[in-house]
Amino acid sequence: MKTFGVSFIVFFVTSFALGQCQNNVKITRIAGPYVLAEGPHWDYERNLLYFVDIPEQRIYCYQPTTGIITYTHLECGPVGVVVPVAERRNTFIAGCGRELVQVYWDPLTTNRNPRVEVLSRVDTGVPDTRLNDGKVDPRGRFWAGTMLIGSRQAHPPDQASLYRFAYNGTPTTMITPISLSNGLVWSHSNNSFYYIDSLAYNIVVYDFNDATGDISNKRTLLDFKKNNITGIPDGMTIDKAGNLWVAVNFGGARVIQVDPKTGRVLRSVEMPVTEVSSVAFGGRNKDILYVTSARDQLSESQLREQPLAGSVFAIHGLGVSGSPMLASRII
């Protein structure tokens, strides 16, 4: 078994909250570096953090109390996302290539050959896409979107889609076409769905019908280009107050907090790496922001400048907390 040295390099950073400096924010590397770490999910029942290393086809589990990291490996393709299944111990669903799969794995152990069942396939007839980021909606339905494999710029664009999966795994196309499906989050009122197609350079909001799972009435919440924000929006989560936390990738080097009522950037936290892929609140009090990052697109000289690229980080001291991340009700 490969062992991972956990280092406690700590960065004290300045985050700007409405123009005021906050010096109590602390960034620690907790795991990695990996190739393309993504999809952090905090399991609030077991106090474990799951995330994936997409091209390495691995699902990782980090135990915060011990620092121990275990993993499982899927043969079916790049692993874009993982979430636990509700009320079923050691059962997960994952996006693996273009398949939604169910994975049986005890996350406290490393297992390179877990039992995997295919639930459904998406993007049939579209070449070279794979499932990317995904999340569970307030009724326990899993949503995940696709992207072109191996292309930051998605040439040709608009080959991908966002899907909602029924409890039996059957996909329904929700948004098409898109280019690079990423962050997705529901408001605490369960009336709004926030969504990121990264190559649209914006965060959008739809009305969400909790009972039917339908979305409508798309509006732009924050346009990165109009607001001169470097990079693209990637993974996203929500804090207890209802503000969004968004990873800014492709040179973004930061995590931003966005007020969804006004579309204003409330805070910006600089990261020690440029390719910041996703965020999730975790820890017993859900007041630690876990942040994944990537190194797959960096040149050798960029890697020398940011040797921690691809690591998973923990940000303490933000003074905000998140809500429980939901497990999938898929059966």
Ligand X SMILES: *[C@@H]1O[C@H](CO)[C@@H](O)[C@H](O)[C@H]1NC(C)=O
Residues sharing a CB contact under 8 Å with residue 238, sequence separation 6 or more, in sequence order: 185, 186, 187, 188, 194, 244, 245, 322, 323
Element (H, E) at 96: strand 91-96
Residues 111, 151, 190, 297: which binds ligand X (CB under 6 A)?
190
Q: Identify residues 128-147 at the interface with ligand X (CB under 6 A).
A: 138
| 234, 239, 259, 296: the active-site residue | 234
Residue 253 near residue 234, CB atoms below 8 Å: no
Residue 299 near residue 291, CB atoms below 8 Å: no
Q: How far is the CB of 140 from ligand X (least distance, A)?
A: 7
Q: How far is the CB of 240 from ligand X (least distance, A)?
A: 13
**Number of other CB atoms surrounding residue 89 within 10 Å:** 11
Q: Any binding-site annotation on 38?
A: yes
Q: Beta strands 79-84 and 91-96: pairing type?
A: antiparallel
Q: Any binding-site annotation on 47?
A: no
Q: Identify residues 207-226 at the interface with ligand X (CB under 6 A).
A: none
**Number of other CB atoms surrounding residue 99 within 10 Å:** 20
Residues 189, 209, 230, 262: which binds ligand X (CB under 6 A)?
189
- Residue with smallest beta-carbon separation from ligand X: 138
Q: How far is the CB of 67 from ligand X (least distance, A)?
A: 31
Q: How far is the CB of 191 from ligand X (least distance, A)?
A: 8
Question: 234 an active-site residue?
Answer: yes
- Structure tokens belonging to residue 294: 């990537």
**Number of other CB atoms surrounding residue 166 within 10 Å:** 15
Residues 209, 227, 230, 262: which binds ligand X (CB under 6 A)?
227
Pick the closer one to ligand X by CB: 93 or 103.
93
Pick the closer one to ligand X by CB: 28 or 190.
190
Element (H, E) at 300: helix 300-305
* Interaction of residue 243 with ligand X, rule CB under 6 A: no
Q: Which residues are catalytic?
A: 234
Give residues in contact with ligand X (CB under 6 A): 138, 189-190, 227-228
* Residues in the annotated binding site for a divalent metal cation: 38, 182, 234
